[in-house]
Amino acid sequence: MDSKKKILVVEDEKNIAQVLAYNIKKEGYDCDIAYDGESGLNMALENRYDLILLDIMLPKMTGFEVCERIRYKSQVPIIFVTAREEEKDKILGLETGADDYVTKPFSFKELISRIRANIRRSSGEIVTEKKEDTSETIVVGELVIDTGRYSVTKNGEEVELSKKDYDLILFLAQNLGMSYSREDLLEKIWGYDDYYGDIRTVDVTVSRIRKKIENDPARPEYLMTKRGVGYYLCKR
């Protein structure tokens, strides 16, 4: 059996780094984390990684610099993961030798598929890009969820959602009519398997979503509470 592919996450925001690592490990990869640019560079040069996820704004050394310096020595696939979405950053990132670029917010599904594609590409397998295969459109009553555009529309009008709002709606829509406990949702949407925080995080997110998608948030018709269980999305 092949040994596990190994990924390095360079990200200074601890929560994000850990959620990334959790999701990456869930996909069967090994994963290390570096919390600043300098240690990220050192780890990248001292170990063999199959792919590196690199933030841009990092302490000690920017992601651009890290990328450039890794490229002197290694052709390991590098994906920038960043909140910055200016076109010049994208271009600079690719100029310093990155292979791909993911802008926050992104879905883990998309990130993982990019990771897979980049690892496959670098190990010489032929990959045909079929972007449309991974996107889907889910219609729930007046709501349309378009995973290609990461958008939710109601009666044709775009609903302004945060990343978590979107992830939660999408997950419940993909499992239409099925109820999930708040603990389940924390694990599946927030990626916290050992989350000791407040499960009311889920309640707050649900009530925020209701204000955006329900005709009357006090009497939800879509995002329903299943008493004693949790939440589900109704077919209507």
Nearer CB in complex with Ca ion: 31/81 = 81
Rounded-to-integer distance, Cα 185 and Cα 170, Å: 12
Contact residues for Ca ion, defined by CB under 5 A: 12, 55, 57
What is the nearest approach in angstroms of Ca ion to the Cβ of residue 135? 28
What is the nearest approach in angstroms of Ca ion to the Cβ of residue 97? 19
What is the nearest approach in angstroms of Ca ion to the Cβ of residue 13? 6
What is the nearest approach in angstroms of Ca ion to the Cβ of residue 5? 24
* Distance, CA of 76 to chain centre: 21
Nearer CB in complex with Ca ion: 37/220 = 37
Nearer CB in complex with Ca ion: 53/189 = 53
What is the nearest approach in angstroms of Ca ion to the Cβ of residue 59? 8
Cα torsion 223, 226, 228, 230 to 10°: value is -40
Nearer CB in complex with Ca ion: 42/123 = 42
Residue identified by tokens 């200074």 is 12
Name the residue whose CB lies closest to Ca ion.
Answer: 57
DSSP string, 111-166: HHHHHHHHHHHHTT------HHHH--EEEETTEEEETTTTEEEETTEEP---HHHH
Nearer CB in complex with Ca ion: 17/202 = 17
Helix residue ranges, H only, 27-85: 37-46, 63-71
Cα torsion 182, 183, 186, 191 to 10°: value is -160
